Amino acid sequence: SWDFGKVQKKGTDMHKYFNQKGFFASLEPIMGSQAAISSLHQRKDELFIATSSRKEGMYDKCIWLEKYFPSIPELNVFMTSRKDLLCGDVILDDGIHNLYSNHIRYPMLFDQPWKQGEEGDKFIRIYSWKHFIETIDLVRKEVPYKEIREINTEFKEDKEYA
């Protein structure tokens, strides 16, 4: 949950971890993410990273991206908390709150148990990086947004995407 008040223990402050130098640099990429980004790069897709961070984490995130995703140019990395200002074809995010933009044709949400419910059903749910690549293939074929959402409900039950 993005609402730390719901998940942190009383008397603790989860924000302190995000403010520690080196926190973001110490994280490992999500399984499948590097292969997916490499595949998109090989297809000549132009990729951008828009990430929100406190100033303490900005440097770490840049170093981390350079290390794990060297195919994404430094000029294509944006530090912003205003993802509602972005425009383009596809946005993939893990926060529902970042998808409320009418400037993106295909808003996609990484699925998690705590993201269930009515408001998350407005977006294309993505169950894995492999599933993301397959969904991008549908976007390339100009399959309408509503149809992709209907097709994607079938992936939820597929164990390969769990």
Summarised one tens digit per residue, pLDDT across range 88-99 is 999 999 888 888
In the 8-state DSSP scheme, what is residue 117? S
Given a contact cutoff of 8 angstroms between Cβ atoms, the answer to whether 68 and 32 are in contact is: no
Q: Name the token pair of 117.
A: 């419910």
Question: What whole-number distance in Å separates Cα of residue 58 and Cα of residue 66?
Answer: 12
Closest CA to 127 of 159, 90, 92, 162: 162
Q: Which residue has the tokens 């993410």?
A: 33
The string of pLDDT tens digits covering residues 34-60 is: 999 999 999 999 999 999 887 778 888
Question: pTM of this prediction?
Answer: 0.81
Greatest Cα pair distance in the chain: 51
How many CB atoms neighbour CB 155 within 10 A? 19
